[in-house]
């Protein structure tokens, strides 16, 4: 399966529909008799609810209901999900507070839903919301891990002493301690991966209809995969999964933020059942800031031990994770298993250990955000390696070369977690160095100096784990119509990845037919398929591999029908170029043949079609990796940084569609650039108010931020799935965070600045430069 020629060059099918305004997102669905809902949200970070009076709102014309936590309790709703069930340090269980659909007795973050107002129109519901009287007893709030874990800090949950949710460890602490005792050099660095707001292009929305005769729900919600969303909805509500139908045509971005079932969905289920009419809710952009799960919110302290020649002996991490008020469905998993699976990156490090502590704060819950802990660890590793190189006088490139895991060591068992399946890390880096013209950089730096600018170059040789999933396998299905055309089905949901293009392409290329005869739909109508959605960059490597298995199965299913049509035995047939050919005794194919599409058309009749079938596969974790190199220029008078050059060389395994891959890499690099140069969710530490609750205060990356990007592939196919693909969705973030930060710090290093934390806003950079002029220490997170 290559990408040099043939049908693999097909363009995205989705684009025409989407760019002409014919996409259909969750807010675009309607029922004739629907009611409209809005939410009253907490306007303070921490308070007891002393009383709630909705009588004036209920008396308002057009209002149908006001639902509160009491209604959710009476309905028997369970706590919203938190997927961690494994033990932590010394066997301790995670402390999971009850996460209600609507606040019960106390609010714990600004934006938490307190009541749902249902009315004939959204405007009426919004007016009625103003008529609800809530009496609060204010409590002190904490908005950071450090404040939440101090002695005497305000307690968020009765069952979580000291607000400490979990302690987790991975690796061999004793072996690491012994290695550090023998080290000639040790470097220590703390990096923060700041809290971010996911801000998908499409605000969240839901439309829920309830059929009283069957007890079934039809729900239109943005999601990443049918299986995961349905499972969460069923678990919390107590409704059988078979009675929940999920509908989503287009999803305007997810990045993990759309992977969980939110409180609003359950409240809409309850209202639809109580009132017997469909319920529609559409979030405002400000609600998106205050109620969609946030991402990142991690602080990582790394220590690297080296011998006198610069060989890595051991690495040790002490990490801290802010979970928000409850922890989103995946927040605790991200801060533990996801964060520690690749703590050594692409390097051979004999001893490794990581310890992570997780705490609850009076902020929006944390969950998955593009990469979900893996870009944060890649950033921390590559930042620490660069820091160590400069601290101890090693060349950053040579230091990496000296410590890469060699290709002949694959599969490489890491000291603390899984086994890397494949990779040639040095070859990828050498490829990137040449493409980025690393040797020509000094001249470009001189040119920048001539115009009064600071210029830096940064490199990152990242690795991440991809393709994990909760489902035991990936299943897909196909159905044929009367014209012999096929529709493919899977439970994965595109949020921009191009599933309508790539899945038909895989099947078409395997069958040797044109993809025009093939469609993809994410919701199977006749089979309850199992699958893992798109989480962990799994779309192509999991679902795509299953479609490859399906295509091969179709050839064998069609073989007896082709033999009957041609009047020969199956042994006399050869399949090639989209057709079954009768093979002559000499071995040469005869002219007597039947095409696959023609055969499928001839077999059409009463449903099911003889070729309708399913296929499945169990596909393991993969390790996408790459080398990204960035050049950044800084205006010292304003602190403004610009990305002058960016080169990405990625080992993503087998590449199916280069256009889609380039788009994914571009998007990931841009999201990384947003975090590096501006994005940060800021809370007032005293009141817990979100100070960046709109784009007036929260940085939005724009196209001009990344004007010169060069993307290349260096594929080393993985043996862990049928396609050999490794996944691409999160690679751009994993490479861009450390490459851009290393470049920016390199530009500032001549001034004596050894480290700064993200985001590199003009004000932050300018202040650091000004401090150097007065002889102050400008670095703000390094342990010197």
Output the CA–CA distances (angstroms, integers) from residue 163 to 146, 154, 706, in the order listed: 11, 8, 40
Does the pLDDT of residue 588 top 80, yes or no? no
Residue of 483 and 536 predicted with greater confidence: 483
Say if strands 164-171 and 113-119 run parallel, antiparallel, or are unpaired.
Answer: unpaired
3-state secondary structure 665-681: HHHHHHHHHHHHHCCCC
What does the pLDDT read at residue 372?
85
H or E segment to which residue 448 belongs: helix 441-450
Does the pLDDT of residue 147 top 80, yes or no? yes
What does the pLDDT read at residue 591?
65
The 10s digit of each residue's pLDDT in 421-444 is 999 999 999 999 999 999 999 999
Give Cβ neighbours of residue 443 (< 8 Å, ≥ 6 apart): none
- Look up tokens 């593009």; give the residue: 370
Does the pLDDT of residue 587 top 70, yes or no? no
What does the pLDDT read at residue 481?
92
Output the CA–CA distances (angstroms, integers) from residue 415 to 243, 335, 352, 355, 421, in the order listed: 45, 19, 6, 15, 15
Confidence of residue 316 (pLDDT cuts 50, 70, 90): very high
Q: 289-298, 598-607, 670-679: which has the minimum mean pLDDT?
A: 598-607
What does the pLDDT read at residue 418?
86
DSSP secondary structure of 26-79: GGG---TT-EEEEEEE-SSSSEEEEEEE-HHHHHSTTEEEEE-HHHHHHTT--P
Counting residues of the chain whose pLDDT is more than 90, the rounded percentage is: 82
CB 467 within 8 A of CB 542: yes
User: How much is the mean pLDDT over the chain?
Assistant: 93
CA angle centred on 494, ends 490 and 500, rounded to 5°: 70
In this prediction, residues 635-661 reach a mean pLDDT of 96
Question: What span, in angstroms and rounded, lies between the C-alpha atoms of 580 and 578?
Answer: 7
Q: How far is CA 771 from the centre of its chain?
A: 37
Q: Is pTM beyond 0.75 here?
A: yes
- Could you give the angle at which helices 263-275 and 226-237 cross, rounded to 10 degrees? 60
What does the pLDDT read at residue 774?
82
Does the pLDDT of residue 777 top 50, yes or no? yes
Output the CA–CA distances (angstroms, integers) from residue 503 to 67, 522, 728, in the order listed: 43, 11, 15
Does the pLDDT of residue 525 top 90, yes or no? no
Confidence of residue 782 (pLDDT cuts 50, 70, 90): very low
What does the pLDDT read at residue 444?
98
CB 350 within 8 A of CB 316: no
Confidence of residue 1 (pLDDT cuts 50, 70, 90): very low
Nearest to 722 by CA among 455, 544, 487, 594: 544
**What's the burial of 526, exposed, middle or buried (CB within 10 Å: 0-12/13-18/19+)?**
exposed
Two tokens at 100? Answer: 């209600």
In this prediction, residues 666-682 reach a mean pLDDT of 97
CA angle centred on 69, ends 262 and 265, rounded to 5°: 25
Dihedrals φ, ψ of 197, to 5°? Answer: -105, 125
What does the pLDDT read at residue 360?
98
Does the pLDDT of residue 459 top 60, yes or no? yes
Does the pLDDT of residue 599 top 60, yes or no? yes
Does the pLDDT of residue 470 top 70, yes or no? no
CA angle centred on 284, ends 76 and 295, rounded to 5°: 75
Question: What span, in angstroms and rounded, lies between the C-alpha atoms of 692 and 695?
Answer: 7
Question: What span, in angstroms and rounded, lies between the C-alpha atoms of 47 and 139?
Answer: 5
Question: What span, in angstroms and rounded, lies between the C-alpha atoms of 645 and 706?
Answer: 8
Question: What span, in angstroms and rounded, lies between the C-alpha atoms of 171 and 339?
Answer: 13
The DSSP code for 338 is: I
Nearest to 329 by CA among 78, 83, 79: 83
Question: What span, in angstroms and rounded, lies between the C-alpha atoms of 370 and 645?
Answer: 23
Integer-rounded Cα Rg, in Å, for the chain is: 28
Nearest to 611 by CA among 594, 626, 592, 596: 596
The 10s digit of each residue's pLDDT in 720-771 is 999 999 988 888 999 999 999 999 999 999 999 999 999 999 999 999 999 9
Nearest to 311 by CA among 175, 173, 183, 458: 183
Confidence of residue 553 (pLDDT cuts 50, 70, 90): very high
What does the pLDDT read at residue 560?
97
Confidence of residue 640 (pLDDT cuts 50, 70, 90): very high
What does the pLDDT read at residue 4?
34
Q: 9-13, 256-260, 532-536: which has the minimum mean pLDDT?
A: 532-536
Two tokens at 145? Answer: 């891990």
Give Cβ neighbours of residue 693 (< 8 Å, ≥ 6 apart): 286, 289, 290
Does the pLDDT of residue 775 top 80, yes or no? no
What does the pLDDT read at residue 341?
93
Confidence of residue 104 (pLDDT cuts 50, 70, 90): very high
Does the pLDDT of residue 605 top 70, yes or no? yes
Nearest to 323 by CA among 355, 360, 352, 291: 360
The 10s digit of each residue's pLDDT in 357-412 is 999 999 999 999 998 889 999 999 999 999 999 999 999 999 999 999 999 999 99
Exposure string for 600-639, b = 16+ CB within 10 A, e = fewer:
bbeebeeeebebbbbbbbebbbbbbbbbbbbbbbbbbeeb
Per DSSP (E only), the strands in 212-366 are 216-220, 244-247, 279-282, 294-295, 298-306, 312-322, 351-359
- Residue 776: other Cβ atoms inside 10 A: 10
Residue of 9 and 556 predicted with greater confidence: 556
In this prediction, residues 78-89 reach a mean pLDDT of 93
């Amino acid at each position: 399966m290559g990408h040099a020629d043939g049908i693999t060059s097909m363009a995205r099918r989705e684009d025409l529909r989407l760019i002409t305004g014919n996409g259909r997102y969750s807010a675009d669905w309607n029922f004739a008799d629907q009611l409209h809902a809005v939410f009253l949200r907490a306007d303070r970070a921490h308070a007891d609810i002393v009383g709630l009076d909705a009588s004036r709102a209920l008396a308002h014309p057009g209002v149908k209901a006001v639902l509160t936590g009491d209604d959710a309790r009476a309905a028997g709703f369970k706590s919203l999900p938190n997927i961690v069930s494994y033990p932590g340090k010394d066997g301790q269980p995670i402390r999971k507070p009850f996460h209600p659909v609507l606040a019960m007795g106390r609010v714990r973050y600004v934006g938490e839903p307190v009541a749902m107002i249902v009315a004939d129109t959204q405007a009426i519901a919004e007016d009625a919301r103003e008529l609800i009287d809530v009496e609060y007893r204010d409590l002190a709030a904490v908005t950071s891990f450090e404040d939440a874990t101090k002695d005497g800090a305000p307690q968020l949950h009765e069952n979580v002493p000291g607000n400490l949710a979990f302690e987790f460890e991975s690796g061999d602490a004793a072996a690491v301690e012994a290695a550090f005792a023998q080290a000639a050099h040790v470097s220590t660095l703390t990096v923060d991966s700041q809290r971010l707001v996911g801000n998908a292009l499409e605000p969240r929305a839901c439309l829920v209809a309830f059929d009283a005769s069957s007890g079934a729900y039809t729900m239109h919600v943005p999601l990443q995969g049918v299986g995961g969303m349905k499972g969460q909805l069923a678990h919390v509500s107590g409704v059988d999964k078979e009675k929940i139908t999920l509908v989503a045509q287009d999803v305007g971005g997810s990045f993990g933020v759309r992977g969980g079932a939110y409180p609003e969905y359950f409240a809409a289920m309850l209202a639809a059942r109580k009132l017997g009419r469909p319920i529609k809710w559409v979030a405002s952009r400000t609600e998106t800031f205050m109620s969609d799960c946030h991402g990142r919110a991690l602080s990582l302290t790394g220590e690297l031990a080296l011998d006198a020649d610069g060989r890595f002996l051991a690495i040790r991490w002490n990490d801290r994770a802010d979970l928000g008020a409850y922890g989103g469905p995946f927040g605790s998993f991200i801060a533990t298993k996801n964060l520690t699976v690749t703590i050594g990156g692409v390097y051979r490090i004999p001893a490794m250990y990581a310890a992570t502590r997780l705490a609850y704060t009076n902020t929006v819950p944390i969950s998955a955000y593009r990469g979900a802990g893996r870009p944060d660890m890649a950033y921390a590793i590559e930042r620490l390696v660069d820091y160590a190189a400069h601290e101890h006088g090693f060349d950053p490139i040579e230091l990496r070369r000296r410590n890469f895991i060699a290709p002949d060591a694959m599969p490489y068992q890491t000291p603390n977690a899984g086994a890397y399946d494949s990779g040639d890390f040095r070859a990828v880096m050498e490829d990137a160095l040449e493409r980025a013209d690393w040797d020509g950089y000094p001249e470009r730096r001189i040119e920048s100096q001539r115009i009064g600018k600071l210029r830096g170059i940064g490199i990152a040789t990242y690795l991440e784990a991809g393709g994990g999933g909760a489902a035991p396998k990936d299943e897909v299905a196909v159905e044929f119509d009367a014209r012999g055309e096929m529709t493919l089905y899977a439970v994965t949901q595109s949020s921009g990845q191009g599933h309508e293009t790539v899945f038909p392409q895989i099947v078409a290329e395997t069958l040797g037919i044109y993809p025009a005869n093939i469609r993809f739909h994410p919701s199977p109508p006749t089979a309850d398929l199992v699958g893992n959605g798109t989480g962990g960059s799994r779309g192509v490597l999991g679902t795509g591999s299953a479609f490859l298995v399906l295509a091969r199965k179709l050839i064998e299913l069609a073989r007896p029908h082709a033999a009957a049509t041609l009047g020969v035995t199956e042994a006399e047939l050869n399949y090639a170029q989209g057709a079954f050919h009768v093979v002559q005794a000499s071995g040469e194919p005869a002219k007597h043949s039947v095409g696959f599409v023609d055969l499928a058309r001839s077999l059409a009749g009463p449903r099911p079609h003889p070729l309708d079938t399913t296929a499945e596969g169990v596909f393991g974790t993969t390790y996408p990796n790459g080398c990204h190199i960035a050049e950044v220029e800084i205006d010292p008078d304003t602190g403004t940084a610009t990305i002058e050059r960016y080169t990405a060389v990625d080992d993503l395994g087998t590449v199916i569609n280069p256009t889609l891959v380039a788009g994914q890499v571009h998007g990931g690099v841009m999201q990384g650039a947003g975090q590096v140069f501006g994005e940060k969710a800021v809370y007032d530490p005293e009141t817990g108010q979100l100070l960046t609750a709109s784009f007036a205060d929260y940085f939005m990356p724009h196209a001009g931020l990344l004007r010169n990007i060069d993307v290349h592939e260096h594929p080393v196919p993985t043996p862990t799935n049928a396609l050999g693909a490794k996944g691409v969705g999160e690679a751009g973030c994993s490479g861009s965070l450390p490459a851009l930060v290393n470049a920016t710090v390199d530009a500032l290093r001549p001034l004596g600045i050894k480290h700064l934390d993200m985001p590199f806003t003009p004000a932050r950079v300018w202040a650091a430069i000004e401090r150097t002029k007065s002889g102050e220490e400008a670095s703000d997170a390094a342990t010197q």
